[in-house]
Structure 1
Amino acid sequence: MTTKYLSSNNFPAASSASPDTLAAELETLLSSDFTGDMYALLAGYQRILADNRQRHQWSAVHKKLETLFKCGKAIPLDGPMIGIPVSIRDSDYFQDTVQHFGKERSKIASIEWMATAWNMTFADTGLWMGKTFEPVSREVAADKTGNNAGILAHYDQKTTRIGRNYFREPAQPDIIQGLGLPVLTSLWNLKPRPKSAAKKLFDGLLLEENLAKEVNIPYSMTGGIFLASPGKSVVPEMNGKEVYQLNYRWP
């Protein structure tokens, strides 16, 4: 079983046996967990991963998420997307970075340690609400990246986007949760949600149709700018899979 955006053929297999194994994993996942609504599927996984009492199921859910990532089709995105903060991943990059601080601090890179802390603070607050992807000119991309040759070589008006994140104040936040939005506002230079497409916002082109779609997303502040374009995954186990990359390093 495959869908429009999910197929084992989307993953560059490391061996001839890998496609069949991945196809079987996807078939099992869709048959057992998918009921026709991808949001419901991910929300179900999120509820498990947000519950420290269900820690024994985390490994299996992460495996299912890995299957979805491997089988996903990379396509350019346009306009607003509602987000579901499903999980914190212990990437190899993050582990290596943290371990530079010393052996006694390497435990910070543990997925279980981080996920447990996240669940105790922000997992169910609705602080992050999603992202939007808007057209960006080559001139702006050049300015944002300091004329980075690699970025500009892959610039394409049809697929390159400038993106921003949506945030809102959690309902009835505790002391720690209440600090979230003010800290992010300062750190990422967040701005109030735009009310007009004529307003210049982070150098992207805010289209009227995208602004109209944003009405359905409850958020108050926006920012955390990134550039988005087709590329290859930097995660080792993805085998150079084609993805739609979000680059937060430059803007």
Structure 2
Amino acid sequence: MTVFLDSDNFPAGSTAEARILANTLSDILKNDCDGNLFTTLARYQRMLADNGQRKQWPEINKKLETLFKCGTSEVINGPMIGIPVSIRDSDYFSDSTQLAGSERSVIAGIEWMATAWNASFADTGLWMGKTFEPVSRETVAEKTGNDAVMMAVYDKQNTRIGRNFFRQPPSPDLFQAIGLPALSKLWSLKDRPMSPETEGFDGDLLVQNLKKEKAIPYSKTGGYFLCNPGNSVVPEMNGKAVYQLNYRWPALGPAFPMTRLVDELV
């Protein structure tokens, strides 16, 4: 997996910044990884899901930021398994912050959104991953209101429509037991498609992708997004190349907080 990590993937503003990033990445791979980045991410996840280890969150989030900066942007096809590692107060509440007249750094430093997430969904195992499916130009036009920018960047080879996977965890506690039914209603989740002929989906349900999905124990799907290669909207990423997932289009039927969400993958 480390083959996808290279400090040259980040458009540094100076030679000094590039050198610092390269050294920081080297330190993470040498001291944290032990040859297995998945194990490292799992350890980070456990720390970030523990409200009792809040003092270590800034350091772990800086390491995750370094890994993201050094990641390679790739077009994704088909399903991927995922686990929540970290959720931070990013741009969801920027409008509220501006109204309050506060600096973003002050509000972000509180990390209250992460605290609430950890107290509720961090370890519930409700979210299981995403899938990325081919989508027609006509569907993109319909979902975006024929948006000029989206139509200009549409590419059959790179543009995808995606959806998220959700499941009822095994032996759920009381909170987990109500989690999926609540999400199903709030986000209008659908039953997982079992064949390419399943109706109600806007992307192409390819046989090979549905076959891969069988390895993922999910029962409901939704939370739709359109994705294209693009440049990061996060200021500190300096316009870094990412694979960008946009949930905000009203015709995709987003519910808060997805009405504010632009996700980015490397």
TM-score by length of 2: 0.87
Paired residue type of 1:206: L
The whole-number CA distance in structure 1 between the counterparts of 2:171 and 2:101 is 38
- C-alpha contact (below 8 Å) 2:89/2:112 kept by paired residues: no
Alpha-carbon deviation of 1:189? 1.5
> How many residues are treated as equivalent by the alignment?
248
The whole-number CA distance in structure 2 between the counterparts of 1:162 and 1:35 is 36
Distance of aligned partners of 1:189 and 1:108 in 2 relative to their CA distance in 1, 3 Å threshold: farther
Alpha-carbon deviation of 1:66? 0.2
Alpha-carbon deviation of 1:39? 2.2
Partner of 2:241: 242
Partner of 2:18: 19
Partner of 2:257: none
For residues 193-213 of structure 1, give each alpha carbon's deviation from its aligned partner in whole angstroms, at most 9, with x where no partner exists. Answer: 111122134210011111111
- C-alpha contact (below 8 Å) 1:94/1:109 kept by paired residues: no
Any residues of structure 2 matched to 1:167-178 within 5 Å, and which?
Answer: 167-178=166-177
Partner of 2:52: 53
Distance of aligned partners of 1:111 and 1:203 in 2 relative to their CA distance in 1, 3 Å threshold: farther
Any residues of structure 2 matched to 1:158-197 within 5 Å, and which?
Answer: 158-197=157-196
The whole-number CA distance in structure 2 between the counterparts of 1:3 and 1:122 is 29
- C-alpha contact (below 8 Å) 1:42/1:84 kept by paired residues: no
- SS where residue 24 of structure 1 aligns? helix
- SS where residue 208 of structure 2 aligns? helix
Partner of 2:29: 30
The whole-number CA distance in structure 2 between the counterparts of 1:171 and 1:98 is 38
- C-alpha contact (below 8 Å) 1:135/1:205 kept by paired residues: yes
Pair 1:75-2:74 in alignment: yes
- SS where residue 134 of structure 1 aligns? strand
Partner of 1:229: 228
The whole-number CA distance in structure 2 between the counterparts of 1:60 and 1:108 is 17
Percent of aligned pairs with the same amino acid: 60
Distance of aligned partners of 1:38 and 1:197 in 2 relative to their CA distance in 1, 3 Å threshold: farther
Pair 1:113-2:96 in alignment: no
The whole-number CA distance in structure 1 between the counterparts of 2:188 and 2:127 is 15
Alpha-carbon deviation of 1:111? 5.0
Pair 1:200-2:199 in alignment: yes
Q: 2:95 aligned to 94, 97, 104, which one?
A: 97
Distance of aligned partners of 1:23 and 1:131 in 2 relative to their CA distance in 1, 3 Å threshold: same
Let me know the Cα RMSD of the aligned residues. Answer: 2.1
Partner of 1:126: 125
TM-score by length of 1: 0.92
Unaligned regions of 5+ residues in structure 1, if any? none
The whole-number CA distance in structure 1 between the counterparts of 2:101 and 2:181 is 33
The whole-number CA distance in structure 1 between the counterparts of 2:71 and 2:4 is 6
